[in-house]
A = this chain, B = another copy of it.
Amino acid sequence: MHQLAVIGAGRIGKIHAANAWAHPAVAVKYVTDPIVDAAEELASSVGAQVAAFEDVIADPSIAGIVVASSTDTHLDFSIRAIEAGKAVFCEKPIDLDLAKARSAAPILGAAGSRLFVGFNRRFDPHFARLHERLLAGEMGALETLHIISHDPAPPPIAYVRLSGGLFRDMAIHDCDMARWLLGEEPTEVFAAGACLVDPAIGEAGDIDTAKTMLRTQSGKICVISNSRRSGYGYDQRIEAFCSGGMLRAGNVRTSMVESWDEGGARIDPPQNFFLDRYADAYRAEMAHFADLLSGNTRPLVEYRDGIWALAIAEAAMESHRGGGPVRIQY
């Protein structure tokens, strides 16, 4: 039984703690959070104790650290945990500042670093199956890729202000998916953003709608569509156009019930909340982290993946602002 500490008792910390609790090979020993009540509540629900981060990394029985704290602390906690010899499961993004994130390369990017970056969508069973079939070459060679990633409804403006902007907060997931599915690094990006959903998002200096086009060295093209509001639940689809046909992953519906009347059919909508939509993915992430702790695997998503996704997101932001295409550099 690998002992874990969960850093951060917010929404995502709770998910990881519950998944750790349910996994036979790991247990949560500590929970840390600046809000003591939240830490206490989460700790008691999974049979853990509240502790300070310093004590957690000083405890030699702790094998793994789950960094689920606020984004601006991800990098610091990860570095200190890695330096203390722990394996780390760090929520995305590593940091909102690419230069700062890059500067951690000697530690987080070192050969043998056990840093697992939590890009959960790679662990979604639907996307994982698409990836597997794509790699197996079932439809031939990939040519172009469409990723649709629209949230059900915009987050609170307070969240928007701290989010780092649509590209680094939201599109970063899709930038990672694009790299993973393209099997090749994008070299150029062109992004068109707009504030069409909520003027308050524009007033907060952000956009709520974007189409991002990536090109790779070999000429593959990827289009990412982002919106902060779909109006019909979580719209998360992928279409991979290949030399032999197309592979696609559709939305997961809340139920398989339909009704038919004179207006036609009504079909239940896609799942509405990312914690429902990606419940299986979060479970699979924890299972992967348990495997990492057991020495059975390398991290499937590493420091360099975190940097790349951030570099693409930043380049997209720059393209959106400058109005022209931007070269992507790792």
Contact = CB atoms under 8 A, between A and B. Distances in A.
Contacts of A265: 232, 265-267, 269
Interface in A183-209: 190, 192, 194-197, 209
B251 A231 contact: no
Interface stretch (A170-178, A238-246, A287-295): A238-246
Contact of A125 (B138, B230, B255, B262): B255
A323 B255 CA distance: 39
Contacts of A262: 231-233, 245, 269
A215 B192 contact: yes
Interface residues of A, number: 66
A244 B269 contact: no
A47 to B, nearest CB: 12
A211 interface: yes
Contacts of A130: 257
A241 B252 contact: no
Interface in A314-330: 323-325
A247 B267 CA distance: 10
Contacts of A196: 143-144, 219-220, 243
A127 B266 CA distance: 16
A223 B241 contact: no
A258 B248 contact: yes
Contacts of A323: 325
A197 B232 contact: no
A254 B263 CA distance: 11
A121 to B, nearest CB: 13
Interface string A139-175: 1100110100010000000000000000000000000
A257 B267 CA distance: 14
Interface string A215-234: 10001110101010011110
B249 A257 contact: yes
Nearest to A138: B259
Contacts of A230: 241, 245-246, 260
For the complex of A and B, the 8 pairs showing the least CB-CB separation, nearest first, are: A245-B261, A264-B269, A232-B260, A194-B219, A231-B245, A265-B267, A250-B256, A246-B260
21 contacts: A125-B255, A133-B257, A133-B259, A140-B231, A144-B196, A144-B227, A190-B213, A196-B220, A211-B223, A231-B244, A232-B260, A232-B265, A233-B262, A246-B261, A247-B260, A249-B257, A250-B256, A252-B256, A260-B269, A261-B269, A265-B266
